[in-house]
Amino acid sequence: MKKIAIYPGSFDPITNGHLDILKRALPLFDEVVIVVANNVSKKYMFTPKERLDMILDTIKEHKLTNVKAVILEGLVVKYAKEIGAKYLIRGLRAVSDFEYEFKLAATNNHIDNSIDMVFFMAHNYFEFISSSSVVEMASGGVDISSLVPRTVSIALKKKFNK
């Protein structure tokens, strides 16, 4: 049976931190499906389509194989069941991430305990990168090109006209 994992997140926008987790996870699975979450209670910088397109550009730029990306409105765990994915990939940075992820794992477990979460520790260099900090820096005209894929750097420059 094909070993499929889902990498869910906001990816608002995708950063080199996300990309690092993806590259480290790929060798462990036959296929990774990136799920761009569109949570009605969250406010995003980019539309789901924009977030998806930046991910697809990044996959192409880095010549990654066995990975695809989709937009999802519903529950990730339910979608996992639908496509036969048994694992959810997440990244851990600070201790604060742990608390959030711990609760998320408990919730997911309640919905369906046949699906496991797999965590990757952020590597040192990526530890401080978050979508929101990148957006904040870009809005202030800081060069963020070493922190995000090329397509994101271009999109942020356009957004803030800097």
Query: Two tokens at 49?
Result: 């389509």
The residue annotated as part of the active site, out of 24, 93, 157, 159, is 93
The residue annotated as part of the active site, out of 42, 43, 63, 110, is 42
List 119's β-bridge partners, or say none.
90
18 is catalytic: yes
DSSP 59-84: HHHTT--SEEEEEE-S-HHHHHHHHT
CA distance linking residue 115 with residue 84, whole number of Å = 10
42 is catalytic: yes
Q: Which of 9, 76, 85, 153 binds ligand ADP (CB under 6 A)?
A: 9
Pattern 86-115, ligand ADP, x by CB under 6 A: ----xx-x---x------------------
150 is catalytic: no
Q: Please count the residues of this chain forming the interface with ligand ADP, following the rule CB under 6 A.
A: 17
Tell me if 29 sits within 8 A of 67, measured CB to CB: no
Cα 16 from chain centroid (whole Å)? 10
Residues that bind ligand ADP (CB under 6 A): 9-11, 15, 17-18, 21, 37, 90-91, 93, 97, 122, 126, 129-131
